[in-house]
Amino acid sequence: MRDTILEDTEAGNGDTTSKFGMWLFLFTELFLFVVLFFVFLSYRASYPEGFHHASIRLNGVIATANTFILLTSSFAVAISIVAIRKGHKRVTIWALIVTIALGVLFLVMKGFEWREKIEHGIYPTAKGLSGLGEGENLFYGLYYLMTGLHALHVIGGIVLLFVMLCFVGNGRVSRGSYGALENSALYWHLVDIIWIYLFSFFYLVS
Amino acid sequence: MSDEYYREEVSGAAPVTGFYDSSGRRAGFTPWLLSWIFSLDHKRIAILYLVSTLSFFAVGVSLGFLIRLELIAPGATIVDARTYNAFFTLHGVIMIFLFIIPVTTGVFGNFLLPIQIGAKDMAFPRLNLLSWWFYIIGAALVLLSLFTGDGLPDTGWTFYVPYSLKTAADISLTAFALFILGFSSILTGINFVTTVHKLRAPGMRWHRLPLFVWSIYSTAWILVIATPVLGMTLLLVIAERTLGLGIFDPVRGGDPILYQHLFWIYSHPAVYVMILPGMGIVAEIIPVFTRRVIFGYRAIAYSSVMIAVVGSMVWGHHMFVSGFSKTAAFVFSLFTFLVAIPSAIKVFNWISSLYRGSIVLEAPFLLALVFIFQFTVGGLTGLILGTLSVDVHLHDTTFVVGHFHYMKFGGGGFAFFAGLHYWFPKIFGRMYIKRYANIAVAFLFVGFNTLYFPMLVMGYKGMPRRYFDYLPEFQLYHVVSTVGSWILITGLIIMFVNLIYSIRRGEKAGANPWGGATIEWQTTSPPPVLNFVDPPVVDRGPYDYR
């Protein structure tokens, strides 16, 4: 009963209303990272040398592969939207499974990259970190902070998409109402976009 | 619970009653409590905010009272210096994050925004409830953080590094609590913006929105844009304390000034979160009690938006003496002066609205007048502080404390009281005792100015803020100020006793006791569950009296 009333509340434009709210939420998420971009760029301006040296020591191969993985996963989630719009439930489910699998793969690769750094004694609170050149410790500090926060968002996105997978399975998300899936896909795209920025900042601009 | 509650109202089994007359109360205490704390009705959520924010207000007032009592004589009077530091920190954190930021949006924003635009509820009722729960969780964590550290938080409400990284108090937990409170603000902001865009009743065009809606709408945008910055800044403090990345540590190449930038990028817009809704309340009250259309509707509406925009670019004026380039200081000073323009537009329009009106002196209107006076004092002292050369002299003195309280308490707080007296009959369906309300206003006005005006004077003469001890030459001002705090608290007690008594025992108010023209007065007092029995008719502006 409550649900009918609430839908009534969002009379006639429930889907556009929730999407409007979702966009606002995505902006707030973006601003969260913009603060860190601001911090990163201001220190990069202060210590161009240190940031350069630190950057070339990161593993660019894994990061590049990860970029392709995330972009592909975004493509997969887009397919799931097209599929549900046309009512192909099986395709939707498989597209979501692929998206989630790629998301997990991204995290695993990220884990390997972190482990490699940690084995070299580069991690926050490590003694060796303060012995690095000027600005390098800041670079690695921000590296762990920003990629770590991004990884949390990836995990959040995976959980969200998993819930959507269940909803598609039991029919709560279907051809008739797929607003929740669309919003989850939007969130996944945001995670992707933020990674593009992180990739450029940490690996490309050196 | 809320399911039954909705069903009862909608099926028509019960007559249309006020939103808080549920069957739950007959069923016992627990179901009654659950029907409140899990309610999706925006009006009930507003009442939840009212009770919770005012509880913390009482705590904050008590701490303020103790601070003033300590300062009545030089040296240790009632507590030692460390406890005093904790007092002003907690007073600041509680009053800012648990009272003045959430209170007006949480209470009147929630209660009135949907009604004033003719909607049945918020765009996202569940998110709305979640906002309140985040608020409660954040508040609980703030309280918990008092006991988990070695000593009470003693950094001041600004958490400036490096001290906040070094103190033994559990600042990480306090910061995390504020992060959660920030989430509450963000969700509220998203909900309000979406509601205004999507749920306006037929005929409710943008230029027919009541001015309170305009101010809440601007506030909601600030919440959405600025709060993530605070969240991230606090996460950085937590990361520094736990991981030691060195981002704010000059020894390792970091920059403590960066913290101040990040903090004020949020916290300056946040002071507009504290004052903008109050301006909206005053703009609602003035036309009703002068019986004429408000002067310069569009100017007032757009100036709210302009304050939100320009106010986001002035954070540097908190840092004039922290050390940054002269160009930056000049630009921030300039923008600070520019914010005065939309603020002055509002003041001039309010005052112009009094001209040739048929003024009715009731408590809400008196409080609105007090607001205009105190807000003007706060605004003008703000311009003094925004002047580069003068700020060097006045920075970190009680002049700043006085200015801030004139704006936030004398402005935002008094506007909230004005709104409370204005919408009380709408919310509870009963009228308070007007005589006592007027007496309370007199006490509040005298007490407030006795309390804070000496701060402006002694600050100008060199009394630093946050100091535990002071030179004997300042004692007179401190004594006057402390006496003022007693008068103010007397006023608060009279006001709240009167209001609380009248919730049950006041006279029935009727749908429109003040003769207001905005559409919340078209519905019954208190409003029914979905706000309107008949769809509201919007065929004219909000202040067009017939």
Mutation target for A interface from B197, B233, B252, B259: give the one with most A CBs within 10 A. B252
Contact yes or no for B198 and A32 at CB 8 A = no
B419 located within any domain:
yes
CB pairs under 8 A between A and B: 120
CB contact under 8 A, A6 and B239: no
Query: What is the span of the domain harbouring residue B459?
Result: 40-521
Query: Based on the domain organization, do B46 and B35 belong to the same domain?
Result: no
Interface test with B, best of A3, A5, A40, A139 (most B CBs within 10 A): A5
> Which of these, B201, B283, B297, B112, lies nearest to B538 by C-alpha position?
B201
In a domain, B542, yes or no: no
Residues B11 and B128 in one domain: no
In a domain, B528, yes or no: no
Do B257 and B267 belong together in one domain? Answer: yes
A137 shares contact with chain B (CB less than 8 Å): yes
- B464-470 long-range contacts, Cβ below 8 Å, gap at least 24? B464/B396, B464/B397, B464/B398, B465/B396, B465/B397, B465/B398, B465/B400, B465/B401, B466/B85, B466/B88, B466/B156, B466/B396, B468/B70, B468/B76, B468/B81, B468/B84, B468/B85, B469/B74, B469/B75, B469/B81, B470/B71, B470/B74
Q: B393-416: string of b/e by CB count within 10 Å (b at 16+)?
A: ebbebbbbbbbbbbbbbbbbbbbb
Contact call for residues A140 and A129 (beta carbons, < 8 A): yes
- Other C-beta atoms within 10 Å of A34: how many? 16
Closest residue in chain A to residue B256, using alpha carbons only: A39
Q: Are residues B327 and B222 in the same domain?
A: yes
Other C-beta atoms lying within 10 Å of the C-beta of residue B33: 12
Q: Which residue from B22, B27, B15, B51 is spatially nearest to B39, judged by alpha carbons? A: B22
The CA distance from B359 to B292, in Å, is 9
Triad B231, B258, A156: Cα angle to 5°: 30
Q: Could you give the number of structural domains in chain B?
A: 2
Same domain, B31 and B55: no
Please indicate, yes or no, whether residues B315 and B456 belong to a single structural domain of this protein.
Answer: yes
Interface contact A27-B193, CB threshold 8 A: no
Residue B22 C-beta-side C-alpha neighbours within 13 Å: 25
Assess whether B16 and B85 both reside in one domain. no
**Domain made up of A60-204: CATH architecture:** Up-down Bundle (1.20)
**B252: which chain A residues are within 8 Å (Cβ-Cβ)?**
130, 137-138
Contact (CB<8Å) B190/A46: no
Domain ranges of chain A: 60-204
Domain check: are B56 and B19 in the same one? no
A10 touches B: beta carbon within 8 Å: yes
Q: Smallest CA–CA separation between A165 and chain B, in Å?
A: 22
Cβ separation B191–A43 shorter than 8 A: no
Residue A84's nearest CA partner among A174, A195, A158, A17 is A174
* DSSP character string of B100-150: IHHHHIIIIIHHHHHHHTT-SS-S-HHHHHHHHHHHHHHHHHHHHHHHHSS
pLDDT in tens, B20-71: 665 556 677 888 888 888 989 999 999 999 999 999 999 999 999 999 999 9
Nearest residue of chain A to residue B244 (CA atoms): A125
Residues of B in contact with A47 (CB under 8 A): 253
Residue B108's alpha-carbon distances to B53, B252, B449, in angstroms, are 12, 47, 26
What's the CATH code of the domain at B330?
1.20.210.10
Distance (Å) from the alpha carbon of A28 to chain B's nearest alpha carbon: 6
Segments of B406-523 assigned E as strands: 430-431, 507-508
Q: Which of A35, A42, A135 is facing B233, going by the closest CB pair?
A: A35
Query: Does some domain include residue B308?
Result: yes
Q: Flag if B245 and A141 touch (Cβ within 8 Å).
A: yes
Domain-located, residue B205: yes
Q: B510 with B493, same domain?
A: yes
Q: What is the pLDDT of residues B95-120, one digit of tens each?
A: 999 999 999 999 999 999 999 999 99
pLDDT (tens, 9 = 90+) of chain B, 546 residues, equals 333 333 344 433 344 456 766 555 667 788 888 888 898 999 999 999 999 999 999 999 999 999 999 999 999 999 999 999 999 999 999 999 999 999 999 999 999 999 999 999 999 999 999 999 999 999 999 999 988 888 888 888 889 988 888 888 889 999 999 999 999 999 999 999 999 999 998 889 999 999 999 999 999 999 999 999 999 999 999 998 888 888 888 888 888 999 999 999 989 999 999 999 999 999 999 999 998 888 889 999 899 889 988 988 999 999 998 888 889 999 999 999 999 999 999 999 999 999 888 899 999 999 999 999 999 999 999 999 999 989 999 999 999 999 999 999 999 999 999 999 999 999 999 999 999 999 999 999 999 999 999 999 999 999 999 999 999 999 999 999 999 999 999 999 999 999 999 998 899 988 899 988 888 998 888 898 888 887 787 877 788 765
State which amino acid sits at residue A123: Y
Examine residue B540 and state whether it is found in any structural domain, yes or no.
no
Q: What is the DSSP letter of A189?
A: H
- The answer on B17 and B62 residing in a single domain is no
B285 neighbors B210 (Cβ within 8 angstroms): no
B291/B426 same-domain check: yes
Query: Do B336 and B239 belong to one domain?
Result: yes
* pLDDT tens digit sequence for A124-152: 776 666 667 778 888 988 999 999 999 99
CA-based nearest residue in chain A for residue B182: A28
| Inter-chain residue contact A20 with B194, CB threshold 8 Å | yes
- The rounded distance, in Å, linking the Cα atoms of A156 and B438 is 53
Nearest Cα of chain B lies from the Cα of A21 at a distance, in angstroms, of 6
Residue B404 lies in a domain: yes
Q: Please list the alpha-helical segments (H only) found in chain A.
A: 2-9, 14-46, 48-56, 60-86, 89-119, 136-170, 179-199
- The reply to whether ipTM tops 0.85 is yes
Asked if the structure places residue B312 within a domain, the reply is yes
